[in-house]
Structure 1
Amino acid sequence: MKSAVAGREKAVWQDPRAVALLMAASLTTMANATISPALPGIERLFADDPNSALLTRLLVPAPSLSVAICAPLAGLAADYFGRRALLLTGTVLFVLAGSAGLILPDLPTIFASRLVLGVAVALIMTAQTALIGDYFTGETRNALMGLQISARNFGGLVFISLAGWVAAISARLPFAIYGLAAVFLPLMWRVIVDPPARASAAKAGPADPGEMRRSWPILLALLALLQATTNMIFFLMPTQISFFLDARGHASAVMTGTTLGVLMVSGGCFALLYPRIQRAIGHAAILILGYTAMALGFLLLPMAETHLLLFAAAAAIGAGYALVSPSFLALVLNLAPPASRGLAGGIQTASIFIGQFCSPLASTPVIARHGYESLFHGTALLLAAAALVAALASGASWLRIRQAAGGRQSDR
């Protein structure tokens, strides 16, 4: 059994389509967080702008606003016009808009380029999510979901760590990192094709029960709300960590980059284990475990007087998010019928970035009024409540199964 599972996971790496989709996945972390280590330097560079403090903080989540608006539309386009064109167009636009900050003259125009970058991310992520559902199924799909989060995290490690070093030279240099996405284009062009509609439908497996077919939009909306909240919390790290370290007297571009690097390494490692953990304990238990780890991380942050404790907090948050995040994608692809995978992927993508965009808007006033300690303690309580809800839902589901089993036995 173990050898069969290992074979399926190995087969994912041997499929060039999977490699191309993992490359695309790595761009999503690069989109927002790459310039995080440079934020204090950018704020100083444009100190003459009266809105520099707000605009600088919005540069990281700015693409999220465009994604939130455009992703559902991109999903409809993917269903009607195919995934390949969206993926390739999005990658080219990603390179151009992402690196534009190298030469743009002021914060408003850089902010505008970040909004265009978000359009590119909407095209990439929507097409990529739909293609995962089109190309793969069963355990192979689950393995790819874990690998996708690993690609985001290890890509984030490389890009953010590199940004931390080059930001020490110039606050503008991290924008050049976006040009690296051009290296992915040849493989995407060669191996990504739109699957025939019949083949895609065949991969969907047996039809869902009628009740599930009717209720999938409602379930998708609930998942989108939960995922938006989860990402709003997680995105406190790239948007606020540099300012938190500055307030504690430990700020530097290198320290911010290292902390976020630990976050990404931890997430990447645990995401590699996701398929095995999910098979062992199921979706509900993995949500409990993930939310508990994130709660522990945010509880530790205000107590992080040493670098070791700071890195432990970041590792717990990264590990928890890496366990929670793939479950959302798995549930979305299982819920949506094949003909609506693009739309479902667009809604799922939008929910991720709505949460990211709202993160600094919700957290900055809390910090100004109550400080970082209250923010992180409140966040830990919210995550603990999410773990409790997942536990109660899991218990209720188990109880219904036992009652149903007992009813069948009594009928006999």
Structure 2
Amino acid sequence: MKNKLVDSDPKIRTNNIASTQHGIILILAAVMPAMAIISLVPVLPLLLQEFASVKGYEFLVPIAMTVPALCVALFSPLAGWISDKAGRKSVLLYALLIYAAIGLLPYFLSELSHIIAARVVLGIAEAAIMTVATALIADYFKGKARERWVAIQIASVSLSAIVLIAIGGLLGEFLGSRGPFLLYLLALPIALFVWLVLFEPERNVVHTDSRAPSLPWLKILPLLFTTLFVGIIFYTVIVKLGEILALTTTVTPAIIGGIGAGANIGVALGSFIFKRFKGASGPTLISIGLMLAAVGYCGAALSGNLVLSSISVIVACLGFGTLLPTMLTWVLKELPENVRGRGTGLWTGCFFLGQFAAPIVVAALQGQMGGLDKVLMLIAALSLVGAFVAVVKIKGAQGLVSH
């Protein structure tokens, strides 16, 4: 029998049109998963001191901070699948409510094991928030508008890191090691806006007699693997920033924080530059981003002074700011709307898996290669190879950025 296209289902079709307020709410929601790790960075020494009597605390306390990223990597595809079936708005609303409640819970907990358990649940909620917020941007906006909001999402997450670290530090200063956990209550007003303002997007549901809509695996798998690689090399420069700068001279936390802020601004600028490449293809943008990453990593490895190292880090982050919206926009473009949640979940999972794996991969390579500078040169070389492969693919590639 022939496939049937249902385009008038009253449960799915709406007359709503997305506007700036919808985009802002989704951007605010997308910032929440990034806050889970960033806000705790200033109080990590306090938490280590507090749980120093717990066996294996040197490993367990950082795990408590980073385990949400692993949960996002593992559960994002499932969250996307659920949102395809149950609807985006309800999944996002409940995930934000769980995020606020579970995120606050460690403020009252005294056992490290209980805190880690709460952070695991938090990570599952984050998986739903990040995946559904991104899928809704793709559902609500098309063409130039979608590209603009994707770029704003990447830039906002990077810029929010500067503010969130500062606020987390102030809360830690006045309220102790648990102070930053109060920040998770910010999800409550966002949940209220989601409930009052957002709408379930209009979708065409394709029914077939033999099978459900399938993901275009051949098209998205290379993009997902590239996203994983970009996630690893991006978070390498973030989590190893202090050690990278220390290759040239002794650095203080204030210096690391200042240059870290510059790196995040570099990511944001790269995201906005992405929109300026009118008509550019995906391979073109990937080659530019990876070339900037290669130059930045090479400069950081070979630099003999702090100024050049700082400039190199910012150059690399400009490249990442171009790469991230490129990868996300490209994946969204390839996804049929009926499986957009699942596809977005896979992209989110790959990116956060890169975030979780970065310090593990770099630590292992440092042990094998005998120094961080050699690891940085290896990343630069791999980025250069990736840029060359992308250049080869430019001929005949369709434009990704709208005119």
Instruction: Give yes or no for TM over 0.5.
Output: yes
Aligned residue among 132, 137, 157 for 1:152: 157
Whether the 8 Å CA contact 2:293–2:320 is kept in 1: the answer is yes
Indicate conservation of the 8 Å contact 1:58/1:360, yes or no: no
Q: Deviations over 1:325-361 (max 9, x none)?
A: 1111111111111111111111111111121122222
> 1:272: how far off?
2.1
> What is the CA-CA distance between 1:245 and the residue it aligns to?
5.9
Q: CA deviation at 1:251?
A: 4.0
For residue 100 of structure 1, report the CA deviation from its aligned partner.
3.4
Structure 1 contact 93–117 (Cα < 8 Å) conserved: yes
**Mapping of 1:4-403 within 5 angstroms?**
15-164=20-169, 166-167=171-172, 170-198=176-204, 216-242=216-242, 249-252=250-253, 254-277=254-277, 279-302=278-301, 307-369=306-368, 370-395=370-395, 397=396
Distance in 2 (CA, whole Å) between partners of 1:103 and 1:256 is: 31
Judged with a 3 Å threshold, the aligned counterparts in structure 2 of structure 1 residues 380 and 102 are, in CA distance, closer, same or farther, namely farther
8 Å CA contact retained: 1:36, 1:242: no
Determine the C-alpha separation between the residues in 2 that align with 1:167 and 1:301: 32
State the alpha-carbon separation in 1 of the partners of residues 97 and 334 from structure 2: 31
* CA RMSD, 1 decimal: 2.8
The CA distance in 1 between the partners of 2:181 and 2:374, in whole Å, is 33
Residue identity (%):
25
Query: Residue 148 of structure 1 aligns to which amino acid in structure 2?
Result: Q
Task: Report the CA distance between 1:78 and its aligned residue.
Answer: 0.5
The 8 Å contact of residues 74 and 349 in structure 2, kept in 1 or not, is answered as yes
Q: Is the 8 A contact 1:300 1:313 kept in 2?
A: yes
- Counterpart of 2:229, as a letter, is T
Contact residue 63 and residue 117 of structure 1 kept, 8 A? yes
State TM-score, norm by structure 1.
Answer: 0.81
How far 1:165 sits from its partner (Å)? 5.2
Report deviation, 1:124.
Answer: 0.7
Equivalent pair of 1:149/1:326 in contact (CA under 8 Å)? yes
Partner in structure 1 of residue 14 of structure 2: none
Amino acid at match of 2:377: H
Matches of 1:176 and 1:305 in 2, distance apart?
A: 42
Mark the CA change 1:91 to 1:107 in structure 2 (over 3 Å): closer, same or farther: same
Distance 2:105 2:50 in 1: 16
2:376, 2:182 → 1: CA distance?
Answer: 33
Aligned partners of 2:215 and 2:343 also within 8 Å: no
Would the alpha carbon gap of residues 104 and 76 (structure 1) be closer, same or farther in structure 2, given more than 3 Å must change?
Answer: same
**Number of matched pairs:** 373
Give, as a single letter, the amino acid of the residue that structure 2 aligns with 1:298. Answer: Y
Q: Which moved more, 1:225-234 or 1:99-108?
A: 99-108
Structure 1 distance, partners of 2:221, 2:276, is: 27
Alignment-mate amino acid for residue 183 of structure 2: I
Change (3 A) 1:230 1:85: same
Which residues of structure 1 form unaligned runs of 5+? 1-11, 202-212, 401-412
Contact kept? 1:35, 1:163, Cα under 8 Å: yes
SS of equivalent residue, structure 2 residue 251: coil
Give the structure-2-normalised TM-score. Answer: 0.83
2:57, 2:244 → 1: CA distance? 18
User: Taking structure 1 as reference, are residues 114 and 375 closer, same or farther at Cα in structure 2, changes over 3 Å only?
Assistant: farther
Instruction: Decide whether aligned partners of structure 1 residues 319 and 158 sit closer, same or farther in structure 2, where only a CA change above 3 A counts.
Output: same
Per-residue CA deviations over 1:93-123 (Å, capped at 9, x if unaligned) read 2223333343332443333232222111111
Question: Could you tell me which amino acid in structure 2 is paired with residue 116 of structure 1?
Answer: V
Q: Secondary structure at the match of 2:394?
A: helix
Q: Per the alignment, do residues 263 and 175 of structure 1 end up closer, same or farther by CA in structure 2, a change over 3 Å counting? A: farther
Q: Distance in 1 between matches of 2:244 and 2:57?
A: 18
Q: Which blocks of at least 5 consecutive residues in structure 2 are unaligned?
A: 1-16, 207-212, 399-403
